[in-house]
Amino acid sequence: MFLSKKRFTGLVLILLTMATFGFTTRQQTDKIEGLWYNDVKSAKIEIAKHANGKFYGKVVWLKEPLKNGKPKVDELNSDEKLRSRPRLGLPVLAGFEKDGENKYTNGTIYDPNNGKTYSCKMTYKGKTLDIRGYVGISLFGRTTTWEKAE
């Protein structure tokens, strides 16, 4: 079973294209991009890098997506106009900038459990991500640990 020269050339081109695409995809993906469980595993948050070079995260899965038979909404938001938006798809991380090898700073985190937004920084630690939300300076804050979702 020998391949013709034309088929062999085609196969080589396909393999090179696949290898190149895989390499560039890995190269362009930051280590925090992907799915993360929140600290109590009640939600999965997808973190992605946007065109502006900053990182954002939104809720893509809820362990309990319903309340009284209806999809959960952002009912505690301080802005009344936003209280009817669904929790699924809700943006919770915004504006993070990579600051060194494993740190992400200058972002905010929104807590739908109390309707408040906090200044935030994140530290990547392999399969975990330390999320520190704070008011003013990070000394006055709280750290939770998110786990990489497989």
Geometric angle at alpha carbon 36, from 19 and 118, rounded to 5°: 125
Going by their DSSP bridges, the two strands 141-148 and 34-37 should be labelled as: antiparallel
- Domain identity same for 22 and 35: no
- Per-residue pLDDT reduced to its tens digit, 30-75: 999 999 999 999 999 999 999 999 999 999 999 999 999 999 999 9
- Per-residue pLDDT reduced to its tens digit, 114-141: 999 999 999 999 999 999 999 988 888 9
pLDDT band at 9 (very low <50, low <70, confident <90, very high): low
- Domain identity same for 23 and 84: no
In terms of C-beta density within 10 A (0-12 exposed, 13-18 middle, 19 or more buried), how is residue 121 classed? buried
- Rounded distance, CA 13 to CA 29, Å? 24
Domain that holds residue 7: 1-30
Nearest to 92, CA basis, from 77, 103, 70, 71: 77
Number of domains in the chain: 2
